[in-house]
Structure 1
């Protein structure tokens, strides 16, 4: 018998909460990296799963969140309550603004356009070396902090910050998907011409979902940047966007839970395969190939 959607989601978050509560802090280092990836998978699901817009720019949006927050905290220490929302909102608005002209492109060209966004971000970071540290990276001197609470740091607290982002993003995703606006997004995704003939403003509707995806990735970048204590372009490389796309395809765009489970389980499994040495790459490929085939057959059924 199939488990109801809400029950499955509640069990998923309950299991993650248990991991955070009972796992020693030092052991959460790798888990937090996986949660960072999972939040970006969810962010991409807003773009592709709801709006039907493929994006290879999630790493750039996460990088904008990290660099923006770290640089602003260096100028205005202790202003996390103002800086973090402004960085997330600013990145989301930028993503929405970029989506509108890209709406005129075909799906293949859209992927190339978002790839260019990632390349432009990396080149900007490398070029503005005096500000960003360039390829050498940038030390993070100011942590996220809240009045009356203090610094928000450490493995366990960061785990719950990522978990909170995942829970908030999931709530917004489900609310949007089941709303009138979500049905308009589904119409744009399934048949753009039919949606336009019904009076739906495709550019405006899809820019909303793209902006939400960009803002969520930026929020993940804010947490990740202050958690690691050091940021560099390598942390927000194209590989992050490709991984997010891969796990979303494995789980199924538009589905909330399966892509998140795929990201956490498969990324953890691939981490454990480090003991295989040089054979790790081959086994990783086989594992991901099997997951893709399983997803394909599930869709066919």
Structure 2
């Protein structure tokens, strides 16, 4: 077991421990609420990262899928009276089915055509939510969404219990993402991202792999939407607005697209900065826009990618210096 691996493991354990004990040592209810929302956004960004970062297909419909998960849970629990956890599972299944149908059509396109198509899909979802008043509540929104049902002795009626529930699903998302990325399936996704034609020549079924990545991506968005609906207990059509998708994209690009830590880093940093600069909320893109442009120009892989590349360069430099010293010692001995 190498020392770098140990350091990484200790750092991750420390961050998880900090997240677990934070509500126990802090009485700031507002900060706990912001952290819950940050955890939920991070789950969405992980879904976006699986598709855009590891497969190379940028979806601009993720706010739509997020809203689809939220509204499906709301309709099933409030309108039809289905128990929360049954509705929760049905929501994920429904989101996956919708993702399958849309993905089968969308993935016939490539590059910017795929992005444009998904942008249109996201806007159509927004229009359906906004105008289907009898089902979604339209512009008035959807009220009275229940909190998550109890699991045995565990109840989720308080903000702190919701905090731990959402944290659990975030950790589960990260674990699932880690296992996907480091599996043969993940390597297939990366091969498609690097060169779809080359992936075909080595026997990878690009169509089925792209569709699988798209479905998983939408399920993550639907999962986050379900958690959001049960936490806020009120949802409106604005959660499906395209501006939400661009927020998710900003989190991913600044944190580091195509990296496992990027979604966490980007989401936490931008949400924290947004909280500190609330007086500039209407002009936030004037702040983040130039930062994003500079980041894309000078380091397209974001903060996490920059750190990874810097470590690789440092290790390479040390290795070359070690090799040079070794050669000099051989010359002296000869």
Same fold, TM-score > 0.5, yes or no: yes
Q: Which residue of 2 aligns with 1:175?
A: 179
Q: Which residue of 2 aligns with 1:120?
A: 124
Counterpart among 74, 79, 87 of residue 83 in structure 2: 79
Q: Which residue of 1 aligns with 2:47?
A: 43
Counterpart among 208, 212, 226 of residue 208 in structure 1: 212
Against the structure 1 CA distance between its residues 47 and 70, is the aligned structure 2 distance closer, same or farther, given a 3 Å change threshold?
Answer: same
Counterpart among 258, 262, 265 of residue 258 in structure 1: 262
Against the structure 1 CA distance between its residues 292 and 8, is the aligned structure 2 distance closer, same or farther, given a 3 Å change threshold?
Answer: farther
- Structure with larger RCO (C-alpha < 8 A, sep 6+): 1
Against the structure 1 CA distance between its residues 95 and 8, is the aligned structure 2 distance closer, same or farther, given a 3 Å change threshold?
Answer: farther
Q: Which residue of 1 aligns with 2:329?
A: none
Alignment pair present for 1:15 and 2:18: yes
TM-score by length of structure 1 reads 0.89
Q: Contact (CA 8 Å) 1:100, 1:204: kept in 2 or not?
A: no
Query: C-alpha deviations, 1:111-159, integer Å up to 9, x for none?
Result: 1111111101111112210111111111124332135447623322222
Indicate the structure (1 or 2) with the bigger Cα radius of gyration. Answer: 2
Across the aligned residues of Structure 1 and Structure 2, the Cα RMSD in angstroms comes to 2.6
Aligned length: 301
Q: Which residue of 1 aligns with 2:31?
A: 27
Deviation at 1:8, TM superposition (A): 3.7
TM-score by length of structure 2 reads 0.81
Q: Which residue of 1 aligns with 2:251?
A: 247
Q: Contact (CA 8 Å) 1:77, 1:142: kept in 2 or not?
A: no
The runs of 5 or more residues in structure 2 that have no matched partner are 311-334
Tell me how far apart the structure 2 counterparts of residues 69 and 276 of structure 1 sit (CA, whole Å).
Answer: 34
Tell me how far apart the structure 1 counterparts of residues 258 and 211 of structure 2 sit (CA, whole Å).
Answer: 17
Q: Which residue of 1 aligns with 2:271?
A: 267
Q: Contact (CA 8 Å) 2:100, 2:211: kept in 1 or not?
A: yes
